[in-house]
């Protein structure tokens, strides 16, 4: 009823008639209820009548007519939200601007395979994202899968011998900002520490045994040597040593050499060790054994066994009868037998043989006694 009436009859006569009819109906209803002693219903009927009268009056009245007592009509869009960016109240959460670009990124290599990155805080950044790539492998930029909540970060597990580039991006709920400056890190091993405790012990002819303490960070060792007598510069042995002892061979007898050891790894060579000096000599010959003597007329035929390390032999002799001291024959003997001549018949002689080489003379042999005939 009210919808059909609204706006179709702008005059007030219809409203007055409707009000009269409703008021009359309410009066009859109250009289009937009063006769039946129903106070509750009576009150309800009175309220109902008043409400009905008010509804009719409001519904029938023209909102734009003069003397209207109802609220002003709403325009169709009165309850719609204000458009975005208008001065009206916002209906959703505010979105922050993207962070500023991170600045001042720097990298300091640390332990093997690590680098420490630090940068300036970026305005508006709630956290940071690391981007990296392997330059040698030609990789594209890769995003580290978890954020960084500080302005320093240690990158780990970098491959030795590779070069990496890094950059930092500030991030917040709106997204990622512009990347920082790019830093480059070449991953290398530290050079080995200096070798210590180098010693040298002469061995067989032309050899020397070198031993030293292990050097921290060394994967292998390099031998440097020089011939002091020849005035040589240091020479690097062309192949590495995998242990902490090494026997040097083919050294010239009578020469003096100097040696030093250098630790080495993929990063290069460390500082050299202390220097040791070796003078190469032959060992003295062993003692001659098995000397025998057969006397003759003013002679004595001597024979003996070869002595280890001897390349020639010396004859020592003395005339016991004449009370002489030991004397050495002035020229060497190359064989293992020798005939002594010009001995005085009837004199008693003592004879012995000594082995000799470039290092010197060995101990003498057993002594034989002979008395030649005239």
Extract long-range pairs of 109-113: CB within 8 Å, 24+ residues apart: 109/185, 109/186, 109/187, 109/188, 110/154, 112/160, 112/187, 112/189, 112/190, 113/156, 113/157, 113/158, 113/159, 113/160, 113/187
Q: For all residues of the chain together, what is the average pLDDT?
A: 82
Q: What pLDDT digit, counting tens, does each position of 20-60 carry?
A: 555 555 564 555 445 444 444 444 444 444 444 444 444 43
Q: Is residue 330 part of a domain?
A: yes
Counted domains in the chain: 4
pTM of the model: 0.47
- What pLDDT is recorded for position 30? 57
Same domain, 274 and 299: no
Report the alpha-carbon distance of residue 67 to residue 146 in Å, rounded: 71
State yes or no: pLDDT of 261 exceeds 70. yes
Residues 261 and 309 in one domain: no
Whether the predicted pLDDT of 293 surpasses 90: yes
pLDDT at 249 over 90: yes
**Final residue of a domain: which of 244, 279, 314?**
279
- Distance between CA atoms of residues 131 and 162, nearest Å: 17
Kindly state whether residues 275 and 341 are assigned to the same domain: no
Q: Which domain holds residue 118?
A: 103-186
CATH number at residue 203: 2.60.40.10
Report the share of the chain in percent with pLDDT over 70.
Answer: 75
Inside any domain, residue 82: no
Residues with Cβ within 8 Å of residue 110, at least 6 apart in sequence:
116, 154
Same domain? For 173 and 206 the reply is no
pLDDT on residue 254: 85
- Is residue 240 within 8 A of residue 262, CB to CB? The reply is no
| Residue 85 maps to a domain | no
More confident residue, 279 or 87: 279
In-domain check, residue 86: no
Q: Give residue 94's pLDDT band: very low, low, confident or very high (50, 70, 90).
A: confident
Instruction: Tell whether 123 and 155 lie within a shared domain.
Output: yes
What are the backbone angles phi and psi of residue 309, rounded to the nearest 5°?
Answer: 90, -5
- Is 125 a member of any domain? yes
DSSP helix/strand/coil, 319: strand
């Amino acid at each position: 009823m009210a919808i059909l009436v609204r706006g179709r009859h702008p005059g007030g006569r219809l409203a007055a008639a409707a009000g009269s009819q409703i008021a009359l109906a309410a009066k009859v209803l109250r009289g009937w209820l009063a006769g039946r002693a129903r106070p509750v219903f009576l009150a309800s009927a009175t309220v109902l009548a008043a409400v009905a009268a008010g509804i009719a009056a409001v519904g029938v009245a023209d909102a734009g007519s003069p003397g209207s007592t109802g609220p002003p009509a709403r325009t169709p869009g009165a309850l719609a939200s204000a458009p975005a960016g208008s001065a009206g109240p916002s209906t959703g959460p505010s979105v922050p601007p993207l962070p500023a670009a991170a600045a001042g990124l720097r990298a300091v290599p640390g332990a093997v395979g690590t680098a420490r990155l630090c940068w300036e805080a970026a305005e508006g950044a709630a956290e940071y994202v690391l981007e990296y790539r392997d330059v040698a492998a030609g990789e594209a930029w890769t995003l580290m899968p978890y954020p960084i909540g500080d302005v320093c970060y240690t990158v780990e597990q970098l491959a030795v011998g590779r070069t990496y580039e890094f950059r930092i991006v500030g991030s917040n709920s709106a997204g990622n900002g512009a990347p920082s400056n790019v830093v480059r890190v070449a991953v290398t091993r530290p050079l080995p520490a200096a070798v210590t405790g180098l010693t040298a012990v002469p061995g067989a002819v032309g050899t020397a045994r070198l031993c030293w303490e292990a050097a921290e960070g060394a994967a292998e060792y390099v031998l440097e040597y020089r011939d002091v007598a020849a005035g040589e510069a240091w020479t690097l042995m062309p192949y590495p040593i995998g242990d902490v002892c090494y026997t040097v061979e083919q050294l010239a007898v009578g020469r003096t050499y100097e040696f030093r050891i250098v630790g080495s790894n993929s990063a290069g060579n460390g500082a050299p060790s202390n220097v040791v000096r070796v003078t190469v000599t032959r060992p003295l010959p062993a003692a001659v054994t098995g000397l025998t003597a057969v006397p003759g007329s003013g002679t004595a035929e001597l024979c003996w066994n070869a002595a280890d390390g001897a390349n020639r032999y010396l004859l020592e002799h003395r005339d016991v009868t004449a009370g002489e001291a030991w004397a050495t024959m002035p020229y060497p003997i190359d064989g293992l037998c020798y005939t002594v001549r010009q001995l005085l018949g009837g004199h008693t002689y003592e004879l012995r043989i000594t082995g000799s080489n470039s290092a010197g003379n060995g101990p003498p042999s057993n002594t034989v006694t002979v008395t030649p005939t005239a």
